[in-house]
Amino acid sequence: MSLAVLLSRSLVGFDAPSVRVEIHLARGLPSFGIVGLADAEVRESRERVRAAILSSGFEFPLGRLTVNLSPADIPKESGRFDLPIAVGVLLVSGQVAIPAASHRQEASGDAPALASLVLAGELSLTGTLVPTRGVLAIALSVARTHRSATLLVPSQDAVEASHVPGIKVLGANSLAEVVAHLNGVSPLHPVKPFGMTEQQAEFPCLSDVRGQLLARRALELAAAGGHSVLLSGTPGIGKSMLAKRLPGILPNLTEDEALEVAAIAAFAGVSQSMTLARPFRAPHHSASLAAIIGGGIKPKPGEVSLAHRGVLFLDELPEFDRRVREALREPLENHEIALARANMKVTFPANFQLLATMNPCPCGWHGHARRVCQCRLEQVATYQSRVSGPLVDRIDLQIQVSQEKERWTDLPVGESSEQVRCRVSEAWRLQQTRQACLNARLSDAQLEVYCKIDSKAKLLLERLIDRYFVSARSIQRIRRVARTIADLDGHHVIDAKHFAEAFQYRFKPR
């Protein structure tokens, strides 16, 4: 056999396009070349593959070896192509004898026994398979496009990949085990997934927050409809305390969502166990644009993608770099982030809830009943203008967290997170049944279908539009929030009181 063709996967952003690994052995002076837009990591696999084959007790063929990674216009990186290249070298040199593979080939060049086998894994010099970045993303892509395929990866990655339904996953510890499986000597058995953890992190309880009924109500609405929130208030008023309790009232991820979240974390190189708890990301305000949005020469997901299906908490929003703040506009609107490079364009999912806090001024005490603000009016205006109008317009709930009139020790203990979570879960169930998405994700066309309003509510909306400057985007966001309020009240039709409550949450901290 002078030609072997195997299947593998590349990684371009979060997508894993199929790659044909073609290995050709011809007569001539010994050489080993790799073509097909391979980067330095892939070109270095020549030495790893040679050493791994020899260390595993096989012979490295003498002749002109050419490896082509097709299609050539897709970038290839990392060492995940080591395994298919090594198996292909052993195939063309006759050291792997798959039944019928050595006698005939299909017109496409695929050996029949390898047509549905996808291989990915990096080899050490000893022939051992080592964990490979992005295996879960590869498994998800294979399940979407090639459901009859069998994925063969290092054992350390196989358990994680086995959670993806619809494909068979095999795990091997070494090149020798892979060859023994292909030769039929010692078949590998499909890996079975283990159960996902229900809740990995214990979030603080909402009952710790005393008073602040308006902010608690806004937090429940945000959780029930997937809405973004901006909390503004003086230091120590409870903004961060409220924010850290939002994940505790959100329903768990579904298994499909958990796989997607875990795949993003694995792609970014973040250590994370398989869990149904929603991600909660709280980057420091000194974080760079690439850290928050994603980027790099080889683009990696940032915090907006790591918070996918969960919460992105930005404490002291005005302190973040201006470019970071303005870059949030796109993912808040489109729920994904697109990064363009000279040779590629990658897209990462970024369907997150933004939860941000800010002080009213640099010293923090502007508007406080007892403390005196030390800032000049122009300083207050400059500080508040750091959060631009277009960004604020994309935030559904804008809440002024004010000082309680009663002493904190006299305030009653509020509802627990579990009580609020029950109502939120019921609202989610209703929305998924009615429209297959949360209210915050309703398109403009869906709003006309699912956000029907009665005559009184329509009249109120017209009066508000006439009296205040309300952008078209704000109107649509008010309708989505009103839909969530109606869902929590158990109403099918949005009435005037729902619109009135939704409108009061459009506070702008200026």
DSSP 194: P
Does residue 190 have a cis bond before it (omega within 30 degrees)?
Answer: no
Q: What's 3-182's CATH class? A: alpha beta
Q: Mean pLDDT for each 10-residue chunk of the chain (510 residues)?
A: 88 88 93 89 91 96 94 88 96 79 40 77 96 90 87 93 90 96 91 68 82 90 96 90 93 91 87 83 95 88 95 96 95 91 83 95 87 91 92 93 69 86 96 95 92 84 79 89 94 89 71
Tokens describing residue 470: 């309300």
Give CA 211 to chain center in angstroms. 34
The pLDDT value recorded for residue 416 is 92
Vertex 499: Cα angle to 494 and 502 (nearest 5)? 120
> What are the residues facing 336 on neighbouring strands?
349
Say what the pLDDT of residue 299 is.
86
Q: CATH code for 206-439?
A: 3.40.50.300
From residue 452, alpha-carbon distances to 259, 335, 436 in Å are 35, 25, 17
| Entry pTM | 0.85
Counted residue by residue, the chain has a size of 510
Round to whole Å and give the CA distance between 203 and 417. 9
Amino acid at position 176, single letter: A
Q: In terms of C-beta density within 10 A (0-12 exposed, 13-18 middle, 19 or more buried), how is residue 336 classed?
A: middle
Helix (H, G, I), strand (E, B) or coil at 87: helix
pLDDT at residue 99 in the model: 53
Residue extent(s) of CATH 3.40.50.300 domains in the chain? 206-439
- 249 DSSP 8-state letter: G
Tell me the CA distances in angstroms from 375 to 19, 52, 360, 425, one per residue in order.
Answer: 61, 68, 10, 44
319, β-bridge pairs: none
For residues 383 and 319, give the distance between their C-alpha atoms in angstroms, rounded to a whole number.
9
**β pairing state of 229-232 and 353-358:** parallel
E-strand stretches of 10-75 = 18-26, 31-35, 64-70
SS (H, E, C) 424-475: HHHHHHHHHHHHCCCHHHCCHHHHHHHCCECHHHHHHHHHHHHHCCCCHHHH
Torsion of CA 91, 97, 100, 104, to 10 degrees: 30
Distance, in Å, from the CA atom of 171 to the CA atom of 294, rounded to the nearest integer, reads: 31
Write the CB contacts of 367 (distance below 8 Å, at least 6 apart in sequence): 234, 360, 373
